[in-house]
Amino acid sequence: MRNARGPGEASCSGMVRRMVGLPRSILGGFSRVMGHGIDLMGIGGRRHHHQPLNFHLPQHQQEPLVIPDEWAFLSSFEQQYGSMHPFFYACQFMEALKIAEDEHKFMFMYLHSPEHPFTPSFCRETLCSELVVQFLNANFVCWAALADRGEGLQMAATLRPASFPFCAVVAPAPGNSLAVLQQMEGPISPAELVEILQRTVEEQGLAFGGARAINAEERRRARAKEEEKMRADHQLREEQDAAYLAALQIDKEKEKLKHQPPRGRVQKPVEASNKLPDHDRFRHNPTQNRYRNGKITASKTRYTDHQKETTPTNQGRDPQATTQLVLQVKEKLEKDYPSLPVGKNGRDDEEMILWFLKDRKFSVDKAVEKLTKAIKWRQEFRVSELNEESVKGVAETGKSYVHDFLDIKDRPVLLVVASKHFPSVFDVVEDEKLCTFLVEKALSKLPPGKEEILGIIDLRGFSTQNADLKFLTFLFDVFYSYYPRRLGEVLFVEAPFVFKPFWQLVKPWVKSYASLLVLQVKEKLETDYHSLPVGKNGRDDEEMILWFLKDRKFSVDKAVEKLTKAIKWRQEFRVSELNEESVKGIAETGKGYVHDFLDIKDRPVLLVVASKHLPSVFDVVENEKLCTFLVEKALSKLPPGKEEMLGIIDLRGFGTQNADLKFLTFLFDVFYSYYPRRLGEVLFVEAPFVFNPFWQLVKSWVKSYASLVKFCSVETVRKEYFTKATLPINFRN
């Protein structure tokens, strides 16, 4: 693919930049699409219209539906290549450009020429690759159109592509102009596309538009500031540890004096100042989780029975106090979770309890919470049953193994060869089993007195076909949730350039990296929104904070803003008061329920029967209460390690009397605003023709959640999502 340079272009930081005048027809205003859809549906133009939607479609329904230009591309593309693609806004060009401007992003524009010979391979291998999808969704507002009709044809005439596929990075410019920051023509690999896009963002950001500028120097300073804070925190922790050791030594001396005969008590207690260790000896690596020269280094705070992290809850604690806390955790687990297994790695394993107490800074409640999840996960994942034979098939690929020898610091070594990992070959569960087995094997090789292992990821030969965002986050998540503080260091060896954007996507999801941001959000909420409730789903709920940070791409300010709205909504909507009894009347209609079984991906299932939904019968608030209650119920059924649910909307028998624009947008809005990233997939089952215009109207309002929707048949639900034993009763006959 070549970078095209046309007449009138200007060079900016060595990159293409030219101004083009936008056609008058494109500048003609917004909302033609909405007007067309609203006229088609025969309803008012406000999104939150309060009248029941008992509308009727125009007569002569047998006439073919004319698909508007704004939806023609997606309709054509998804029919041929499926729904795994970047989120393209189904709207007019100027609307998408305005969205990009509001979000301080550049626009990625793709002109689709279905008949061009290079198009199929580009769409399947590049545009639909996970790396490109993740990168575009995270960094751009995407818009696409057919190159032979409507606005796509007008933009093709304006930009004059010499070949297809044609992509461009554009931004609004003063007047009626468009700044073309980069354009690419012809076939291109996923790695090359991401490299060009990243370079464009980095080099053009500062030069073009202050509000949209991506200032590399500011980012460097921010990273330096963050590392300095980490360094200071680490130093403070070491000083506290040193002070604690000195205090412990004093206590030991006092204890000795108590047991000595009166004549023996001639030695004075050792002064703390004389026994304070040299701090320099305790300073290992001052930064946590750095990515520099292909290396990420985890925090190296070490613990033994006589050296504990000093916090307000354990400062000055002696071994007897620690033993007491272990007993408290054991008693609480036995009382509240008697069904958990006992024995090695069970609820009465004192060594495991002590480890989780250390990880949770000796908070009994937090240790119980995290330990319970870990034990349940071990039980459900059948960790104790994993052995060489059970992982033999995937292990023989050589993608990962435990090294025969320890490193020079006497740590077991877990090694991953990235170039041998192909996500499409083995089921993700098989990879997760191998990962868990190898972690267990590495820990079994720990010498006495050693607590951490070394991870090495060999990135020589890494390419986009090896990129597996889900598995890498699982790997780090396993260490955070189930083997806390066991991963001492991770080496990324010979990381190629193509790995950098992939790592930038993964990095925020590594919880040890995110923990600092969680604390920042907590402090900001406490300072600015002190009146918000605390506790579960409150302003100090770290699990909820982390979830919203992920959703807001780890922007503290954006997470605070969205989380504040969510907590206020939960308070005003009285979510905590919803129960089976409060929604009994509307639930008995059978219009919505949570299925008793999980799907084959272990996701809870929220099922809606559209033909039983009659907007005029129940008040809209009652429908919203049922919806919220069922979402809460489904989330309560999430197995350990799972985060998403499956939504199924059964559209058999759907008619205009069931159409409820307000409720459907509320449903998606709830997931977007209050339960972000909890909806993994939505199945529209057996959608009739009459549903199509209704969905096209809603689609552009539900943002990126539209990409989660899959139209399918009952047979698909039966074969691909459930076993015969777990199939919902609606789909059995």
CATH number at residue 528: 1.10.8
Residue 623 zone, left/alpha/beta (φ > 0; ψ -120 to 50; rest): alpha
> Using 50, 70 and 90 to split pLDDT, how confident is the model at 517?
confident
Sheet containing 645-650, strands listed edge to edge, beginning at the edge strand earlier in sequence: 592-594, 605-609, 645-650, 679-685, 709-712
- For the stretch 94-111, what's the b/e string if a residue is b when 16 or more beta carbons lie within 10 angstroms of its beta carbon? bbbbbbbbeeebbbbbbb
Determine the structural domain holding residue 717 and report its residue range. 578-731
Res 207 pLDDT > 70 = no
Indicate the residue among 141, 159, 188 that finishes a domain. Answer: 188
Res 589 pLDDT > 70 = yes
**What per-residue confidence (pLDDT) applies to 374?**
92
Res 3 pLDDT > 60 = no
Q: What is the mean pLDDT of residues 126-154?
A: 88
Res 680 pLDDT > 90 = no
Establish if 620 belongs to a structural domain.
Answer: yes
Q: What is the mean pLDDT of residues 491-497?
A: 87
Q: E-strand spans in 266-420?
A: 295-297, 400-402, 413-417
Res 158 pLDDT > 70 = yes
**What per-residue confidence (pLDDT) applies to 660?**
83
Rounded to an integer, what distance in angstroms lies between the CA atom of residue 150 and that of residue 426? 43
Q: What is the mean pLDDT of residues 201-206?
A: 70
Establish if 664 belongs to a structural domain.
Answer: yes
> Using 50, 70 and 90 to split pLDDT, how confident is the model at 591?
very high
DSSP 3-state of 593? strand
> Using 50, 70 and 90 to split pLDDT, how confident is the model at 64?
very low
Cβ-contact 58, 42 below 8 angstroms: yes
Res 285 pLDDT > 60 = no
Do both 619 and 567 map to the same domain?
A: no
Minimum mean pLDDT range among 37-41, 146-150, 166-170, 507-511: 37-41
Establish if 216 belongs to a structural domain.
Answer: no
Q: What is the mean pLDDT of residues 594-605?
A: 93
**What per-residue confidence (pLDDT) applies to 466?**
84
Establish if 722 belongs to a structural domain.
Answer: yes
Strand partners, 178: 20, 172
Do both 608 and 670 map to the same domain?
A: yes
Res 40 pLDDT > 90 = no
**What per-residue confidence (pLDDT) applies to 89?**
83
Sheet containing 453-458, strands listed edge to edge, beginning at the edge strand earlier in sequence: 295-297, 487-493, 453-458, 413-417, 400-402
Give whichever of 246-260, 287-301, 636-650, 663-677 has the largest mean pLDDT: 636-650
Do both 107 and 136 map to the same domain?
A: yes
> Using 50, 70 and 90 to split pLDDT, how confident is the model at 237?
low
Q: Is the pTM of this model over 0.75?
A: no
- For every residue of 67-86, DSSP letters joined together read --HHHHHHHHHHHHH-S-S-
Closest alpha carbon to 573 in 675, 438, 422: 675
Do both 544 and 621 map to the same domain?
A: no
Do both 547 and 586 map to the same domain?
A: no
Give whichever of 89-93, 308-312, 492-496 has the largest mean pLDDT: 492-496
- For every residue of 552-565, DSSP letters joined together read TTT-HHHHHHHHHH
**What per-residue confidence (pLDDT) applies to 307?**
36
Give whichever of 206-220, 226-240, 259-273, 608-622 has the largest mean pLDDT: 608-622
580-589: long-range contacts at Cβ-Cβ below 8 A with a sequence spacing of 24 or more? 582/625, 582/629, 583/622, 583/625, 583/626, 583/629, 585/622, 586/618, 586/622, 586/623, 586/625, 586/626, 587/626, 589/618
Do both 665 and 726 map to the same domain?
A: yes
**What per-residue confidence (pLDDT) applies to 252?**
61
30-34: long-range contacts at Cβ-Cβ below 8 A with a sequence spacing of 24 or more? 30/92, 30/94, 30/95, 30/98, 31/95, 32/92, 33/68, 33/70, 33/90, 33/91, 33/92, 33/700, 34/697, 34/700
Indicate the residue among 141, 163, 188 that finishes a domain. Answer: 188
Establish if 154 belongs to a structural domain.
Answer: yes
Mean pLDDT score of the chain: 77
Establish if 632 belongs to a structural domain.
Answer: yes
Rounded to an integer, what distance in angstroms lies between the CA atom of residue 401 and that of residue 397? 10
* pLDDT tens-digit readout, 540-555: 998 899 889 888 877 7
DSSP 3-state of 40? helix
Do both 569 and 582 map to the same domain?
A: no
CATH number for position 610 = 3.40.525.10
CA angle 233–235–236, rounded 5-degree value: 65
Q: What is the mean pLDDT of residues 608-617?
A: 89
Rounded to an integer, what distance in angstroms lies between the CA atom of residue 452 and that of residue 412? 8
Q: What is the mean pLDDT of residues 665-690?
A: 87
Do both 564 and 588 map to the same domain?
A: no
Res 276 pLDDT > 60 = no
Number of domains in the chain: 3
Do both 591 and 706 map to the same domain?
A: yes
**What per-residue confidence (pLDDT) applies to 656?**
85
Do both 537 and 671 map to the same domain?
A: no
Res 397 pLDDT > 50 = yes
Do both 84 and 181 map to the same domain?
A: yes
CATH number for position 172 = 3.40.30.10
Q: What is the mean pLDDT of residues 343-365?
A: 89
> Using 50, 70 and 90 to split pLDDT, how confident is the model at 642?
confident
Q: What is the mean pLDDT of residues 294-302?
A: 38
**What per-residue confidence (pLDDT) applies to 316?**
44
**What per-residue confidence (pLDDT) applies to 243?**
59
Res 598 pLDDT > 60 = yes
Do both 599 and 723 map to the same domain?
A: yes
Establish if 115 belongs to a structural domain.
Answer: yes
Indicate the residue among 188, 223, 240 that finishes a domain. Answer: 188
- For the stretch 596-618, what's the b/e string if a residue is b when 16 or more beta carbons lie within 10 angstroms of its beta carbon? eebbeeebbbbbbbbeebebeeb
- For every residue of 596-633, DSSP letters joined together read SS--TTS--EEEEEGGG--TTTS-HHHHHHHHHHHHHH
Res 30 pLDDT > 50 = no
**What per-residue confidence (pLDDT) applies to 629?**
95
Establish if 446 belongs to a structural domain.
Answer: no
Query: What kind and span of H or E run contains 592?
Result: strand 592-594
**What per-residue confidence (pLDDT) applies to 423?**
83
